[in-house]
Structure 1
Amino acid sequence: MRAESAAGGTLAFVGLGANLGDMRQSLQQALQALAVLPGTDLLACSSAYRSAPVDAGGPDFLNAVAQLRTQLSPLDLLDVLQAIELAQGRERPYVNAPRTLDLDLLLFGELSLQTPRLSLPHPRLHRRAFVLQPLLELQPGLSAPGLGGLAAYLPALQDQAISRLGPLWPSG
């Protein structure tokens, strides 16, 4: 147990994805990094899901969603997520390029935010089965600011290939 707990912090959800290298190991290392963030508790992680790329080429992705409680600000959390990506060799040669690790801040409490660096909720979370299915696995009745109940968006995503693979992270 860490001395610095996130009691009273904000509930946040982070999307994890990879489609290069040892994808399972990349996601597990990212979860390990999230689990030791100061002022942050890793509360849960969804199952791992295999999904075909959406609006991109390359190999299939391995995806999951982590649920955190954090005392970090949204931009501080974004900085940490990008530092974890960089530490695992993330490169950005072009938009939607294949990647060793992708960490997206999906939701941050009930915050709606539009800045050049960060949009909350994530602007495409309701259009991606690889985000919605793991999110709803963690919280089936989850709603997002400006979107409402997220389960209502799943029927429109039936054409997106996705399969649940099982646990990625030990449950707590």
Structure 2
Amino acid sequence: MNCTDQQTVCYLGLGGNLGHPMALFDEVVENFRLHPLAAGVKESPRYRSAPVDATGPDYVNSVLEVYWLGNAEELLQACLGLEAQLGRVRTTRNAPRPIDVDVLLVGIQTVNTESLTVPHPRMHLRRFVLEPLLKLNPTAQIPGKGFAEGFLPATQDQIVTAI
């Protein structure tokens, strides 16, 4: 299992624009609440946003704060397993999808492996990530970049609407 004795506050980005993303978000939250390596879960408000660098229906987005007892790779595997369980089939980058569960932050760690990059490399460029993240943690920091709030002005042209 490779658990640590301490919890790490992690942030996950949820997104989806096919089928019933709101119901899938509920399932993701519930799955993390029941996960043996998760000691607590909190979800931000949900937002609607237009696709970035793609076409298709608007997305529903939110951020989860998860108190995680495992390591970053175990968190990634939990996310990928949930996506598959809930019908995600990976095709092309930015393709429409029913659910996406991205690892955004793992405490103050930086991770750069073949399967995982933390902090998420584009999170500071996406208002649909920054808005919900800052609702959960107004002083959130992106390791190596600074306070998340400082990136909001550059995303003013991206419209996100609370739902």
TM range (shorter): over 0.9
1:16-27 to structure 2, matched below 5 A, reads 16-27=14-25
1:23-102 to structure 2, matched below 5 A, reads 23-102=21-100
Deviation at residue 113 of structure 1 after TM alignment: 1.2
Equivalence for 2:102? 104
Contact 1:111/1:120 (8 A) holds in 2: yes
* Aligned mates of 2:28, 2:123 — CA distance in 1: 20
* Aligned mates of 1:42, 1:14 — CA distance in 2: 13
* Aligned mates of 1:117, 1:8 — CA distance in 2: 24
* Aligned mates of 1:14, 1:7 — CA distance in 2: 21
* Aligned mates of 1:122, 1:28 — CA distance in 2: 23
Contact 1:7/1:69 (8 A) holds in 2: no
* Aligned mates of 2:162, 2:5 — CA distance in 1: 31
SS of 2:46 mapped into structure 1: strand
Deviation at residue 7 of structure 1 after TM alignment: 7.4
Q: String of CA shifts for 1:65-115, please: whole Å, max 9, x gaps.
A: 000111111001101100000001101121111001000000001101111
SS of 2:95 mapped into structure 1: coil
Instruction: Give the partner amino acid of 2:131.
Output: Q
* Aligned mates of 2:46, 2:5 — CA distance in 1: 27
* Aligned mates of 1:39, 1:80 — CA distance in 2: 9
Specify every segment of 5 or more residues in structure 2 that has no aligned partner in the other structure, as ranges. none
- Count of residue correspondences: 160
Deviation at residue 28 of structure 1 after TM alignment: 0.7
* Aligned mates of 2:66, 2:76 — CA distance in 1: 13
Deviation at residue 23 of structure 1 after TM alignment: 1.3
Contact 2:8/2:69 (8 A) holds in 1: yes
Question: Identity rate of aligned residues, in percent?
Answer: 39
Spell out structure 1 runs of 4+ moving beyond 2 A: none
* Aligned mates of 2:65, 2:57 — CA distance in 1: 26
* Aligned mates of 1:75, 1:8 — CA distance in 2: 16
Instruction: Give the partner amino acid of 1:74.
Output: A
Instruction: Give the partner amino acid of 1:17.
Output: G
Contact 1:26/1:88 (8 A) holds in 2: yes
Instruction: Give the partner amino acid of 2:103.
Output: L
SS of 1:47 mapped into structure 2: coil
Aligned Cα root-mean-square deviation (Å): 1.2
